Every structure is written in C-alpha cells, then in structure tokens.
Amino acid sequence: MKAPLLDLRHYQMIATLATTPRVTDAAERLGITPSALSHRIREAERRLGVPLFSRSHKRLRMTAAAEYLAQVAERLLSDLVRAERDAERMGQGVRHVVRLAVEAYSSYHWLPAFLRRLKTAQPEVGIQVVAAAARAPLESLLDHTVDLVIVSGEQSGGRTEQVHLFDDELTFIMPPSHRLAGKTHIDGQDIVGEDFITYTRIPEPDREYARLFRPNDTYPNWTETVELPEAIVEMVAAGLGTSVLAHWAVKGAIDSGRILGCRVGPEGVTIPWYAVVRADSGPEESVRRAVAETLALWCRETEGFSS
C-alpha cells in the first residue's frame, strides 16, 4: 500500500484553517509561528502537487481540494481521539467498546440506568455515544461509523440483524394553553390550520402523515423543519407550534407540565423500536449482538426508554 503523502500535522493544520482562516490565529491554535504555518502549507502543497489555499489579505481561502481534505481531517482526527479514549478505557478493564447511535433523537435520559445493567451483565463492554450518526443511523452502521443503532420501524435487508426493544406510541404535543388541550386524541380535522413543526418532510408509511393527514386530506400548516426533536419540544413549549414525536422522547417534558400530549388518532399510532447491528461474523459482532440482547432484556424488565 502506498504511504500517505501528508502526515497528521498537515491534517491538523487543514482542519484548523477550515475554522480559523486568519494565519496568525490559526498558528496560535497550532502552537507554531505564522512563518512555520506558511512553510507547512507550502510543504503540503508540494507533496500533493496541488494548491490548497489562496491568500486574501491576512486570511486564507480554501481551494476545493483543501475543503475535501478538511472533511477527511475532521473524521480522521475525531476517530483518533475516540481510539485514544477507547485505549484508555481498555486499560481500565474495558475490552470492547460499542459505538451507539439513536435515530433522530438525542434523548439519553435512559442511558445511565442501562449502563448500570450492562456493567453487571457485561463488565468488559463500554458504550460510546456517537450523536452525529443520528441523522443516518443505518448508513453509519453499514459504513462502520457505529456498531449498534436504535431505530424505529422494522428494517429489511440481509446486511443487518435487529432485536425488538419496545413499542412506543406517537404523541401529538402542544403548549399547555393550546386550544386542543384536554383532548384524549387528535383527528385529522383538529390539525387543519395548525402551525406544525417536524424534523423531516419525508412521509413515512406508518407515521402521522400516512395514518392521520393523508387519508382525510387534512393537513396542518408546515411552518418549520427542525432536525433536532429536542429543539422542537422547546419551540412547542414556547407556543410556536405543535408536533408529533415519539412518546418516550417527550415524556419528561409532558410530566413536567411544560407541554401537553395526546394520542394521534382514536386508536393511536404505535411504532416498534429495534436495536440493529451488522450481520457480520466474528467475536466483535458477537459482543455487539449480546449488547443488543441485554438492551432488549432491560427494556422488557423495566420501563426502559420511558423511565
């Protein structure tokens, strides 16, 4: 295999310049002089044979090649930091680190209780949360960015294995002063004209769009698309709209009285949640499947994610 043309210090430099384009500021962050930084840039460009930066006054403008390398550098440096932390944990008795992500949501109130169970069941296993994989958990699983993902809805395909964790109802959420407060469920007609905040505009076959809006041709005002459900909860609490989210993720805000919740439709919309791992063989994948099974058992024996 051909050795890389650039070394770690070059990638650190490119990653720094991507966020700090002033030469003096970037040099200070890197702990070198501005002249040493300029020399390092010229060295990287010489090794690659392509220009990486153009100078505008005292700032550097990245070329397309540098922008691409900056994306690689961000992943590379992040992976190195995680690897170092994993190595430290292995020195403390943790032999396997399972990287975990949850689809769409960044609600991890359930994690400490599960970690206590995992420490008893599998003391040599540690968990690392990779929040950045929440937007595309299955893709992140298959490209080995994470090892276990928690997703809603049954998954198909032979490249993954899934373990059922729990079933959860979708919940319509609103501010306490909302006109629909007190209803046990909302129908399609209730939502007409409502300001509605969603984290995705892509209709899913088993969710509120297909089960509530489309059958009766009744739709809310699509006012905002906010990719972070926790931010949606804050906007709803502030009276800026309504939404439909997983009950387990909003239960805490409902219990605190900051928002109100009710069922979606008279019979509700129930969504299954699964732990998914790669369908690969080997000792590491066996550990990950065992973690998924432990998580499923913990969910069955406790309130799990709704606790």
120 and 28 inside one domain: no
pLDDT range class, residue 141, cuts 50, 70, 90: very high
Residue 289 has pLDDT above 60, yes or no: yes
Two tokens, residue 40: 């390092």
Residue 46 dihedral angles phi and psi, to the nearest 5°: -65, -45
Q: Which residues touch 231 (CB under 8 Å, ≥6 apart)?
A: none
Confidence at residue 17, expressed as pLDDT on a 0 to 100 scale? 93
Residue 24 has pLDDT above 60, yes or no: yes
Confidence at residue 1, expressed as pLDDT on a 0 to 100 scale? 56
> Is residue 286 assigned to a domain?
yes
87 and 60 inside one domain: no
> Is residue 1 assigned to a domain?
no
Confidence at residue 80, expressed as pLDDT on a 0 to 100 scale? 78
Confidence at residue 235, expressed as pLDDT on a 0 to 100 scale? 94
Distance CA(263)–CA(211), nearest Å, equals 12
Q: Which residues pair with 99 in a beta bridge?
A: 128
Q: Which helix (H) or strand (E) holds 83?
A: helix 64-90
Distance CA(193)–CA(218), nearest Å, equals 9
The alpha carbon of residue 116 and the mean position of all alpha carbons in its chain are separated, in whole angstroms, by 22
> Is residue 2 assigned to a domain?
no
Please say whether the beta carbons of 278 and 286 come within 8 A. Answer: no
Query: How much of the chain, in percent, has pLDDT values that exceed 70?
Result: 94
> Is residue 110 assigned to a domain?
yes
Within the chain, what is the greatest distance between any pair of CA atoms?
Answer: 70
pLDDT range class, residue 90, cuts 50, 70, 90: low
Once rounded to an integer, what is the mean pLDDT over residues 254-281?
Answer: 94
> Is residue 3 assigned to a domain?
no
CA 256 vs CA 23, 147, 237, 251, 252: distances in Å: 49, 34, 11, 9, 6
231 and 180 inside one domain: yes
Please say whether the beta carbons of 27 and 33 come within 8 A. Answer: yes
Confidence at residue 2, expressed as pLDDT on a 0 to 100 scale? 66
Domain of residue 266, CATH code: 3.40.190.10
60 and 120 inside one domain: no
Confidence at residue 251, expressed as pLDDT on a 0 to 100 scale? 94
Domain of residue 29, CATH code: 1.10.10.10
Least confident of 32-36, 137-141, 202-206, 224-228: 202-206
Number of domains into which the chain is organized: 3
154 and 187 inside one domain: no
174 and 302 inside one domain: no
Distance CA(102)–CA(73), nearest Å, equals 25
99 and 216 inside one domain: no
At 109, the amino acid letter reads: H
161 and 280 inside one domain: yes
Q: Which residues touch 304 (CB under 8 Å, ≥6 apart)?
A: 110, 165, 166, 248, 298
Distance CA(254)–CA(258), nearest Å, equals 6
Distance CA(180)–CA(195), nearest Å, equals 13
What would the pLDDT profile of 50-85 be if each residue is shown by its tens digit?
A: 999 998 777 899 999 999 999 888 888 877 777 776
264 and 176 inside one domain: yes
200 and 252 inside one domain: yes
> Is residue 72 assigned to a domain?
yes
Looking only at the bridges linking them, the beta strands covering 148-152 and 270-278 are antiparallel
Of the two residues 124 and 82, the one the predictor is more confident about is 124
185 and 260 inside one domain: yes
pLDDT range class, residue 94, cuts 50, 70, 90: confident
Q: Could you list the residue range(s) of the whole structural domain that residue 85 is in? A: 79-166+273-306
Residue 162 has pLDDT above 70, yes or no: yes
Domain boundary among 53, 76, 99: 76
DSSP assignment of 110-159 equals THHHHHHHHHHH-TTEEEEE-GGGGSSHHHHHHTTS-SEEEEES---STT
